[in-house]
Amino acid sequence: MTPTLSIRNLTVDIPTRHGTLRPVQDVSYDIAQGEILGVVGESGAGKSMAGNAVIGLLNPPAHIASGEIHLNGTRIDHLQGDDMRRLRGQQIGMVFQDPLTSLNPLLKIGDQLTETMLAHLDISQSEARKRAIAALEEVGIPGAAQRVDSYPHEFSGGMRQRVVIALALCAEPSLIIADEPTTALDVSVQAQIIALLKRLCRDRGTAVMLITHDMGVIAEAADRVAVMYAGQLTELGAVRDVLTAPLHPYTDGLMGSTPLASRGKARLHQIPGAMPRLDALPDGCAFHPRCPRAQADCVRNPGPTLSDGQGRAACFHPLVREDVA
């Protein structure tokens, strides 16, 4: 069965006066129908940039330099203008980090919902309004029939993120890109939003690219996880495998620095140093200066590339686990 989203050797370039930056380098992964793929990494690792590339919202001068993106078997990375626009919202929905700033403060949320539906679906104004109310009910907004005429500022942060999710889903896309959907929310609300996103996507069979730096969110929501470091994919696998038995030293370090209830009272570690800046990437494997397992070949040769379905960790000297085949 064709995966909903298939990214192959995606590379994004940003030409600047001081040379070309490469925030996404040779990244490949698939997301199957109904699957939630968590994409994790530190800020600047290229996880959001890859999402923006998929939905065609890279800020110029950033652009896709090479690679292919397929949505439901159709190549979409070269689409321009109106063709790409029709895809957005209808085929790919997006949820942004900050619900306080992603809704237009001057338009009623009902109007923002109906305009989205009318842009993609061949329905009447009144039908769109009916569906808008239904959509709000579905994301758990109490009193949706009245609230549809409210302005964004009349909702709390968590409620607004529910509205944003309703907006992203209202034209029934087959893929949702959720970019840090819970980061700006209160901790108490985060779990609710994640549960909501999970439920809605399961019900509709929507594929989800869940971009986050929060391992807790990944553990709770994702089926598989892709770990990114300095623009490259470092590890890709089922959540349970990657979280409990990481193979890449970077994932290992990342797990060691994340408090997880499942690992009890183990000490938190931190990875020494910081992720290199894009204009100062080291030779060889990008992680080698911080890697406890680095050897001479890591310094000399660029790190191996992970392709979907082939291997789990992009590393010359992965951790050895007995329980991994």
Partner 1 sequence: MLAYIIQRVGQSALVLLIVGLVAFSMFRFVGDPIDNMLGQERTQEDIDRLRGQLGLDQPFVMQYVKFLGGAVQGNFGVSYRQGRPVSEILLERAPATLELAAVSGFLAISIGIGLGVFTAIRRNGITANVIMSASLIGVSLPTFLIGILLIYLFSVELGWLPSFGRGETVQVGGWSTGFLTETGLKALILPSITLGLYQMTLIMRLVRSEMLEVLRQDYIRFARARGLRERAVNFRHALKNTLVPVITVTGLQLGSIIAFAIITETVFQWPGVGLLFINAIQFVDIPVMAAYLMLISVMFVGINLIVDLLYFAIDPRLRVDRTGGH
Interface residues with partner 1 (CB under 8 A) are 55, 57, 85-90, 93-94, 96, 98, 101-107, 115-116, 119-120, 151, 153-157, 164, 167-168, 171
d(CA 148, CA 135): 10
Q: What is the dihedral of CA 261, 223, 190, 94, to 10 degrees?
A: 160
Q: Which is nearer to partner 1, 178 or 314 (CB)?
A: 178
Q: Which is nearer to partner 1, 141 or 275 (CB)?
A: 141
The distance of closest approach from Cβ of residue 226 to partner 1 in the complex, given in angstroms and rounded to an integer, is: 21
Q: Which is nearer to partner 1, 63 or 86 (CB)?
A: 86
Q: Are 40 and 254 in contact (CB under 8 A)?
A: yes
The distance of closest approach from Cβ of residue 127 to partner 1 in the complex, given in angstroms and rounded to an integer, is: 18
DSSP string, 275-296: PPPGGGPPSSSTTGGG-TT--H
Burial of 209 (0-12, 13-18, 19+ CB in 10 A): buried
The distance of closest approach from Cβ of residue 87 to partner 1 in the complex, given in angstroms and rounded to an integer, is: 7
Non-local CB neighbours of 154 within 8 Å, separated by 6+ positions: none
Q: Which is nearer to partner 1, 14 or 294 (CB)?
A: 14
Q: Which is nearer to partner 1, 28 or 48 (CB)?
A: 48
The distance of closest approach from Cβ of residue 140 to partner 1 in the complex, given in angstroms and rounded to an integer, is: 16
Which has the closest alpha carbon to 212: 186, 178, 240, 169? 178
The distance of closest approach from Cβ of residue 216 to partner 1 in the complex, given in angstroms and rounded to an integer, is: 24
d(CA 265, CA 259): 9
Give me the sign of the Cα torsion angle 20, 23, 29, 32. negative
The distance of closest approach from Cβ of residue 76 to partner 1 in the complex, given in angstroms and rounded to an integer, is: 13
Q: Which is nearer to partner 1, 91 or 258 (CB)?
A: 91
Q: Which two tokens stand for residue 218?
A: 């990944």
